[in-house]
Amino acid sequence: MSRYLLISILSALALAAQAQKLETPSAVLNDQLPKWVRFSFDHRFRFENYQALRFQPDNDDQWLLNRFRINTTLQLHPWFSLSFQAQDSRVFFKTNPAGAANFINRTDLRMAYIDFGDMAKGRIALRFGRQELAYGEDRLLGAANWGNVSRSFDAAKLVVRHGPNQLDLFSASVVRPQPRGLSHHIQGNNLHGAYFFWRNLLPGASFEPYFYWRLSRAANGRTDRRVFGLRWLGPLPARLDYSTEFVQQFGYTGPSDIRAFASHLVLRYSFERGKKWKPHWLGEYNYASGDKNPNDRLNTTFDQIYPTPHNKTGLADQIGWVNLHNLSTTFDFTPWPKFVVRTGLHDWHLVRANDGLYLVNGSLVYRDPTGRSGTHIGQEADILGTYTNGPHIVSFGYAKIFPGPFLKNVSPGSQLHYVYLNVGYRF
């Protein structure tokens, strides 16, 4: 353990050097290498503490997460490059070691891909290999980088651009991270997709229709899930802007047909320009369908596919975008340069009383099949602060969940507390 704590200390010194405008280790190294070879290093550690997990008294846990990455790019030609990312993720001081495998990914090759063409600006470009896939606000497809291990895919992705518009086509299989050794994708678990960026359809607005097709095999049979979505965002008069997303799912899973729906609606107000502390207010509503009768041959529970779920329906990450009504309001301000404070209130209800409560990873945690426990899950109040200086970030947060009638009936109903301190930097 001491070796990795030593890496943390050395990385912190590197961050201090960056803050003082001194050369970082990667800058020194790159200066000695040919221009077509570039290295960078990422380090992050985060302390987290939960009290009353699963709303059970005395079910507390805490840990220190450590993640170190080495990034390498070989720009062999303006239209041809190779990129690699090695990752080492570990957990220390965990009170309850159960489930620690989700935090551990020792010495793995997280990304390794070839680019043909300029993926950022080229008219046509192809990326082949182990890579991230992330679209929109990552609500259905993202890298989940808040996690200690995060997500990557073995995939082929084609990007085609015409003016400001862009079409992405991909075929992928998610990688299952292993605690030790090289990770591999899941055979028979595939995701195909098309995502179109239609920019300036209205002044300043982006119109983003997409299609995902998820195919998988499991003990209960084959799943064929087809996802049609639309994301639309842009400005409004009176210093307002909006973001919306609508998702419809069809297909089948085992013997059951799939009919599920979800939506995401945000309205954001920016106070008068030049106002001290640059305040913003945001109102948000999230909906995801649930299953009225889990025993029939129609599955209407929404599937989040491969999301980046952190802080989407609450900072404590206890409530998933499944069988959910979620109404939230947040307020943020900037009391000092590069430092933002955000406060939030969240209220949750089940869509179907006899469906259950799902975690952010999509797993079912509590259900009352009779529906007599009601639909009000509870509320969360949270506050977080974030300091950002280029690629370096320090954030801390606290959240408290107040269980509603549903949680008080199906669980012990204890109030949950969550606190974290996160430090990440590139050197």
Residue among 286, 356, 361 at smallest CA distance from 328: 286
Q: Is 255 left (phi over 0), alpha (psi -120 to 50) or beta?
A: alpha
> d(Cα 307, Cα 322) in Å, to the nearest integer?
12
Q: pTM for this structure?
A: 0.91
- Please tell me the predicted confidence (pLDDT) of residue 30: 87
pLDDT at position 426 is: 87
| DSSP character at residue 132 | -
Q: Residue 357 corresponds to which amino acid?
A: L
Q: What is the CATH number of the domain that holds 348?
A: 2.40.160.100
Q: What is the 3-state secondary structure (H, E, C) of 204-231?
A: CCEEEEEEEEEEEEECCEEEEEEEEEEE
**Is residue 167 within 8 Å of residue 140, measured between CB atoms?**
no
Nearest Cα residue to 234 out of 274, 190, 199 = 199
How would you write the pLDDT of the chain (427 residues) with one tens digit per residue? 445 545 555 555 555 555 545 567 788 888 889 999 999 999 999 999 999 999 999 999 999 999 999 999 999 999 999 999 999 999 999 887 777 778 999 999 999 999 999 999 999 999 999 999 999 999 999 999 999 999 999 999 999 999 999 999 999 999 999 998 899 998 889 999 999 999 988 888 999 999 999 999 876 789 999 999 999 999 999 999 999 999 999 999 999 999 999 999 999 999 977 678 899 999 999 999 999 888 889 999 999 999 999 999 999 999 999 999 999 999 999 999 999 999 999 999 999 999 999 999 999 999 999 999 999 999 999 999 999 988 889 999 999 999 999 999 999 999 999 999 999 988 8
Report how many helices (DSSP H) and strands (DSSP E) the chain contains, helices first: 3, 22
pLDDT at 3: 54
pLDDT at 97: 76
User: What is the number of domains present in the chain?
Assistant: 1
- Reported as type and span, the H/E element at residue 40 is strand 37-51
User: What is the domain extent for residue 401?
Assistant: 2-426
